A and B are shown apart, each in its own frame.
Chain A
């Protein structure tokens, strides 16, 4: 009897939370952060006349998202912001994916082969430090106006980021794991696929999130150089007419897409790294 009472007391103290409550608690800090940011933005726009308010920006998005009377009048193709944001998203996804693939392979190889690393790593570092506004006109000249310039620039900068992260991930692998693997009969490509690659995935995902977060800005900047479509194109046209509300609307849309992609990346990370994340 005493044990049963004790059991009930223990269970009431340590009753597990319902899954919905747990989910809410996890999202709550982020939600508070967003609401706080919007509130601060609102206050700043009240204090300074030249900062559009959140309400104005949201209204601008609502009015111009799928179609717009205004955009053709300032030199843009028909349609609203949406096709442009999608175009930027495609640049980011395609360029980022190709760049991530190339950079990951090159980084992992650099960790495995001293000779390859001695050649590849300085190149990656050098390219990564050149500002994109310097590189962009060169890409325009080399790749022309086909859209390849935008893709290539995003791919290049993503590759340099992933090269560094993948290399670090592979180099940080404990030496004993590699020795153990060679004792178990694993060599060469087997070691690459069964050890270096999966073992570097936590770092690689870190690099992916950083690279893709930056890729949105890179894509927009390259689109400012002659692209027909894309957020950068829209921002250039809006800047010409000093439409700060419109510019902030496009930037907000880009930010939303970036967050969406990050959420997808996190979900992918949770699945692939389920061996690490409980």
Chain B
């Protein structure tokens, strides 16, 4: 069942010098419920504009965007977002951060939900800590707990783990996938890291120059260990993506031993 639908979706910006820049050019895209979609592409290709539009932070200049049949007109708790930048509120303790999106809930229910999701991300012992006392990876886990605690049907992630080291990133991938499976949330995940896309996504969109160049099904077996990522299918996916992105051209300079 289609949850997210882009129809001839276009976004144009007016630059400082008065020129028009088209970030997204009449894009058509359907995303079914529960799918984990990764978006890869070069910088400036339109990936962030696409997900910010989905989050309601950027409004279109043409076309339509609906989520569960409703047009997107602005930010909403139904479309939670995790940013690349650290968005944990420094002046709130961990539990207050997680509970910030739970206004309207009874205090007892709120506390239950906070404890549940902190447990899920492995931060139950840090509920009263200040964000400054946590590492970068731990703060990302707080952000995950916050958005999953809200129970949003759509989760948008814009290069959320770009600043983390390899090991921390791998750990947090595992946590994210666990949370996704447990909640059934539809995830739209932007990354510039092809390997990350292969680890996480059911589907990989290659976006460049405001268009979707390719829509690749990534039905590799889970969990995606080294064997799976080294399989012929994975290699083929990798090559396809690289091909679209124009990486792997002839070297500019002759090598020394020629």
Partner-B contacts on A (CB < 8 A): 174, 176-177, 179-186, 190, 194-195, 198-199, 201, 274-276, 278
Contact = CB atoms under 8 A, between A and B. Distances in A.
Contacts, number: 60
A193 to B, nearest CB: 11
A223 B105 CA distance: 55
B150 A184 contact: yes
Given A176-B85, A180-B83, A278 B132 contact: yes
B7 to A, nearest CB: 23
A199 B83 contact: no
B87 A176 contact: yes
Contact of B79 (A177, A183, A199, A276): A183
Contacts of A174: 85, 87
Interface in B80-102: 80-81, 83, 85, 87, 89-93, 100-101
A211 B145 CA distance: 41
B90 A276 contact: yes
A259 B57 CA distance: 47
A185 B149 CA distance: 13
Contacts of A275: 90-93, 130-132
B11 to A, nearest CB: 16
B103 A177 contact: no
B101 to A, nearest CB: 4
Contacts of B83: 176, 179-180
B43 interface: no
Given A181-B100, A182-B74, A183-B81, 10 more contacts: A177-B89, A179-B55, A179-B57, A179-B75, A180-B81, A184-B101, A185-B101, A190-B103, A199-B91, A201-B91
Given A201-B91, A275-B91, A183 B132 contact: no
Contacts of A276: 90-91, 132
A272 to B, nearest CB: 9
Contacts of A278: 132
Query: Most chain-B Cβ atoms within 10 A of its Cβ — which of A174, A176, A185, A195?
Result: A185
B146 A184 contact: yes
A181 B146 CA distance: 11
Interface in B35-84: 55-57, 74-77, 79-81, 83
Given A177-B89, A184-B146, A274 B75 contact: no
B103 A185 contact: yes
A152 to B, nearest CB: 33
